[in-house]
Amino acid sequence: MEITVMVALVISLALFFDFTNGFHDTANAMATPIATGAIKPKTAVALAAVLNLVGAFLSTEVAKTVSGGIIKEGSDGVQITPDIIFAGLMGAILWNMITWLKGLPSSSSHALFGGLIGAAIAGIGIHAINFESILQKIILPAVFAPVIAGGVAYLCTRLAYALTARHDPETGDKLTQKRGGFRTGQVFTSSLVALAHGTNDAQKTMGIITLVLISAGLQPAGSGPEWWVITACAFAIAIGTYSGGWRIIRTMGSGLTEVKPAQGFAAETSTATAILASSHLGFALSTTQVASGSVVGSGMGRRGTTVRWGTAGRIAIGWLFTLPAAGIMGALTALLVQTGVVGVIIAATAGTAAVAYMFVRSRKSPVGSNNAVEIEEVGQAVQFRKKKSATKSIKNGGAQR
pLDDT digits (tens, 9 = 90+) for 276-309: 777 777 666 677 778 777 877 877 777 666 666 6
Query: Does residue 38 register a pLDDT over 80?
Result: no
Provide the 10 A C-beta neighbour count for residue 361: 12
Query: Does residue 254 register a pLDDT over 50?
Result: no
Query: Alpha-carbon distance 276 to 31, whole Å?
Result: 19
Query: Does residue 267 register a pLDDT over 70?
Result: yes
Query: Does residue 258 register a pLDDT over 70?
Result: no
C-alpha distance from residue 378 to each of 16, 172, 248, 299 (Å): 27, 35, 14, 10
Q: What is the pLDDT of residue 204?
A: 81
Are 102 and 67 in contact, with CB atoms under 8 Å apart? no
CA angle 256, 201, 12 (to 5 degrees): 120
pLDDT (average), residues 7-36? 81
Contacts for 209 with CB less than 8 Å, ≥ 6 apart: 10, 11, 14, 15, 225, 229, 232, 233
Q: What is the pLDDT of residue 11?
A: 93
pLDDT (average), residues 254-281? 71
pLDDT: which is higher, 114 or 265: 114
Q: Give me the long-range contacts of 310-314 (CB less than 8 A, separation at least 24).
A: 311/377, 311/380, 311/381, 312/378, 312/381, 314/105, 314/377
Query: Does residue 359 register a pLDDT over 50?
Result: yes
| Burial of 110 (C-beta count, 10 Å sphere; 0-12/13-18/19+) | buried
C-alpha distance from residue 381 to each of 64, 256, 296, 342, 358 (Å): 35, 10, 7, 47, 27
